[in-house]
Amino acid sequence: MHWSDVMAQRLAERGNDHIIATGITPSGEFHIGHLREILTGDMIARAARKAGLNATLVFVVDNADPLRKVYPFLSQAYESMVGHQLGAIPAPDENGEPDWDRFHTEGWTYGDHFLKPFLAALAQIGVRPTLLPNLEAYRSGKFADAAKKACDEPEVIREIIERISGRELPDQWFPWQPLDSQGSLDGLTVTGYEFPTVHWTDRHGVSGSSDISKGEGKLPWRLDWPAKWGFNNITCEPFGKDHGAAGGSYDTGKEIARFFGHEPPVPLTYEWISLKGQGAMSSSAGNTIGPIEALELVPPEILRFLIADTKPSKAIDFDAGMGLVNLADDFERWASRDLEAELADESLSRRQRVQLEDAMAALALASPDETNQASSTSVSFRHLALLAQIKTDDEQVWTSLAKSHNLSQPTDELNDRLRRMRTWIASPHFPEEMKVNIRSHPDTGALAALSPEQKGVLGPLHDALRACSWTTDSITAALKEAAERAEVGMRDVYRASYAVFMGAERGPRLAPILATCDQDAMLDLVNACLEA
């Protein structure tokens, strides 16, 4: 069974109605690492609905969390707002300065600023969750019951956290963080409590009171999480391996949830997405690729397929270069096969059957449209990348594909893919080994670097290419024929060919590239190199 179907089966054992939750703090730009959480939740919800369950995906916006520090993209004006809740401070403008005008006129907050682009990316990728803003939940009193139970019996909460996490809490720890006289959650000392009021003294020497029923503060994270499981009726939640570690916040949350009077959700721990060669993504460190940026390079079904086709327990090393090419081609290969027909073969081994069933489920989950399975365009990513570089006009691309792929007219999917491909080629992520630069005239430097044996290839190369039918296979055969006529190895033929056609020592596979070029123009180029 696909991992999403396994989760749906676990949920079915707990009843028919389910709310699958994901949640992220909007403290900085979202990156594709965040997509793993929400796409994992989306795929569980889809699998649950496929199994006949009533399942809803919700997205908890943790905008009651404080600004932790002045990140590099913020001006020093935010120094006075460290500790303030993200849903209660202004968004940064294009210079990183607080946009107070928009905050006062539109209520445009720091949390909104980073959340809205992420929601736009989610819509592109077929995810439209119900939003649950945490700050509004506090202010409307939804946390009040859990907060009262915790504040009435702080020693019970302390014992649970210290026993399970193995760490000792400070003597002055209290299960409610009030807002101080300046609106910050940092640096307060709790001096007393009688429901619904928590009394405090802040670092400015000011004393005051916080009404927990009105959300004038918040619960610490290890209490906040299990509290919202309860009033939001969460039955399933995927989360990162940090929360799922032994003694982590899910372990303490399970027991605290039962203290609050409800069961914890069915968990699914996932590994993180890292950038190849750069480690785990970090918005504050600038080590990211955002979802909007990623979607400018590849269609939504490719990103969805990446998550669907990878078990949550396996880390993903995201590579926007050759790794992306391999991923997209892998998707095309699976999508072009008739998997249902293949599964009808009774001679399949158990391993083969499991592989086909998992691929079929991953393709269904890869589609942004829940009612349709993702389909193949029948054009590999590699071939489209090649054409997009050689053919500057889209119509030239479609003319070439009409010849090579019997394409009568481009589909909407292909048009969309070509548009994104051109963006990818122009980006710094496009892999060097995929770059194509066909010469229009001889590169004398590249030719001068050839050995006498390699230069001797040019005449036989011209004759062999002139006689071939100008397809990938016939050009490959012509290169071999040139090697035989010149009495050299294929290495010398390719070295000479790359010098002639690309002015380089090596490059992408040459025959498919030449097959998309004009034969006469290429023969003229070889002739010009012979005369150079």
Task: Give the integer Cα–Cα distance in Å for 465 and 479.
Answer: 8
Task: Give the integer Cα–Cα distance in Å for 420 and 397.
Answer: 14
> What phi and psi, each to the nearest 5 degrees, are found at residue 126?
85, 20
CA distances from 453 to 102, 288, 456, 530, 532 (A): 71, 48, 5, 13, 16
Is the link from the previous residue into 26 a cis peptide, with omega within 30 of 0?
no
Task: Give the integer Cα–Cα distance in Å for 397 and 404.
Answer: 11
186: helix, strand or coil: coil
Is the link from the previous residue into 90 a cis peptide, with omega within 30 of 0?
no
For residue 45, give both structure tokens.
């919800």
Task: Give the integer Cα–Cα distance in Å for 29 and 293.
Answer: 11
Q: What is the SS3 string spanning 490-508? A: HHHHHHHHHHHHCCCCCCC
Task: Give the integer Cα–Cα distance in Å for 392 and 396.
Answer: 8
Residue with tokens 């589609």: 367
CB 449 within 8 A of CB 428: no
pLDDT tens over the chain, length 532 residues: 899 999 999 999 999 999 999 999 999 988 888 899 999 999 999 999 999 999 999 999 999 999 999 999 999 999 999 999 999 999 999 999 999 999 999 999 999 999 999 999 999 999 999 999 999 999 999 999 999 999 999 999 999 999 999 999 999 999 999 999 999 999 999 999 999 999 999 999 999 999 999 999 999 999 999 999 999 999 999 999 999 999 999 999 999 999 999 999 999 999 988 887 666 665 555 556 878 888 888 899 999 999 999 999 999 988 888 888 899 999 999 999 999 999 999 999 999 999 999 999 999 999 999 988 888 888 888 899 999 999 989 999 999 898 888 888 888 889 999 999 999 999 988 988 889 989 999 999 999 999 999 999 999 999 999 999 999 999 999 999 999 999 999 999 999 999 999 999 988 889 999 999 999 999 999 999 999 8
201: helix, strand or coil: strand
With CA atoms as reference, report the closest residue to 298 among 318, 274, 271, 282: 318
Q: Which amino acid is at 103?
A: F
For residue 298, give both structure tokens.
């590849």
CATH number for the domain whose boundaries are 444-531: 1.10.10.350
Contact residues for 116 (Cβ-Cβ < 8 A; gap 6+): none
pLDDT of residue 287: 56
User: For 86, what's the count of Cα atoms within 13 Å in the CB-facing half-sphere?
Assistant: 23
pLDDT of residue 288: 67
Residue with tokens 């905008």: 63
> What phi and psi, each to the nearest 5 degrees, are found at residue 18?
-140, 145
For residue 239, give both structure tokens.
């989360």
With CA atoms as reference, report the closest residue to 20 among 364, 266, 248: 266
pLDDT of residue 280: 63
For residue 323, give both structure tokens.
């790794």
Task: Give the integer Cα–Cα distance in Å for 304 and 125.
Answer: 7
469: helix, strand or coil: coil
Question: Residue 151 CB: number of other CB atoms within 10 A?
Answer: 21
Furthest-apart CA pair in the chain: how many Å? 97
CB 513 within 8 A of CB 436: yes
CB 22 within 8 A of CB 225: no
CB 133 within 8 A of CB 377: no
Could you state, in order of their start, the residue ranges of all structural domains in the chain?
Answer: 381-434, 444-531
Q: Crossing angle, helix 350-366 and helix 32-50, to 10 degrees?
A: 110
User: For 87, what's the count of Cα atoms within 13 Å in the CB-facing half-sphere?
Assistant: 19
Task: Give the integer Cα–Cα distance in Å for 476 and 272.
Answer: 43
pLDDT of residue 406: 83
Angle at 161 between CA 155 and CA 162, to 5 degrees: 85
CA distances from 516 to 66, 332, 418, 436 (A): 56, 21, 16, 12
User: Where are the strands (E) in 386-505, listed by range?
Assistant: none
Question: Residue 29 CB: number of other CB atoms within 10 A?
Answer: 20
* DSSP secondary structure letter of residue 213: G
Q: Which amino acid is at 76?
A: Q
For residue 88, give both structure tokens.
């209660």
